[in-house]
Amino acid sequence: MHEATRKRRALLWALTNCWVGQSWAQQAPPYSIDAATEEARLSIGARDVTWWTNTVQLGARLAPGSGWFVGAESQKRDRDTDVQANGGWYGKSGPWRWLGQASLAPGAAFLPRFGLLPQVGYVAGDYEVQAGLVYKSFAAARLRLATLGIVKYVGDSEYELHLAHGTSTPLSRRIQVATLRAQVDLGGPWSYGASASAGRGLYDILNVPGVSGNSGWSATLNARYRIGPAVSLRLDLGAGHENPDFHERRVGLSLRSAF
């Protein structure tokens, strides 16, 4: 299964999600665990803050193109820390692909207390068309998005155009974001990627306090090094801006181990 079908963050992820090439994957065991940490430094007007995010995820391949994953995420903003549990399942039937993902964080102050991401895809040749819905319920806001994307597969490399359209309430802010993503994997120990998002309401998706739902952009570069067929390290660097005076810089490190 192509990794783009396996798991995708609501937008950025995102965010989602740049993994093991075929020449290595042929030897990969069916289970994997990912652990990641990220530091984000934000400027919101005259205020500078640092957020830390830590994640861990266990995944399993049940058959070619199908499997499940469960994980946990903690995020520290100032003196507060939220913890979220998430999980999902993916599969395929002929040219069709599907993904269902949910998250839960009861009583969370800033992470979504509940999130849901259903997605379907259709493969035709080297292309896959994907459509999905995103729902996030925060402590004081609700987010609803419809997404549409097209992915071009070239060997183990991927090139994607992804669109998101929706609203956040109670302020009824419009969200319209386009994302371009490329992940280049030639089968050696190194793989590289980049993504760029631009549009309106980009940071409403992450529930960033102090943003105004204005136009903005976000960009990420990543590099993964395979220590062996079962272990790899990945470095992510990112930056973003929303008018008039929101800025962010991110650096993340993750480890994957298969067993």
Spatial separation of the C-alpha atoms in residues 245 and 243, rounded to whole Å? 5
DSSP 23: H
Whole-number pLDDT of residue 24:
37
Spatial separation of the C-alpha atoms in residues 223 and 206, rounded to whole Å? 24
Instruction: Give just the sign of the alpha carbon dihedral 69, 250, 246, 164.
Output: negative
Domain boundaries, the chain: 3-258
Whole-number pLDDT of residue 6:
41
pTM for this prediction: 0.84
Tens-of-pLDDT digits for all 259 residues of the chain?
A: 444 334 333 333 333 333 333 333 345 689 999 999 999 999 988 889 999 999 999 999 998 889 999 999 999 998 899 999 999 999 999 999 999 999 999 999 999 999 999 999 999 999 999 999 999 999 989 999 999 999 999 999 999 999 999 999 888 889 999 999 999 999 899 999 999 999 999 888 877 776 777 899 999 999 999 998 899 999 999 999 999 889 999 999 999 999 9
Whole-number pLDDT of residue 8:
39
Spatial separation of the C-alpha atoms in residues 187 and 226, rounded to whole Å? 10
Class of domain 3-258: mainly beta
CB count in 10 Å sphere of residue 150: 14
Whole-number pLDDT of residue 208:
79
CB count in 10 Å sphere of residue 125: 8
Spatial separation of the C-alpha atoms in residues 236 and 182, rounded to whole Å? 14
C-alpha closest to that of 85 among 113, 63, 64, 104: 104
Spatial separation of the C-alpha atoms in residues 210 and 194, rounded to whole Å? 27
* The residue type at 113: R
DSSP 22: H
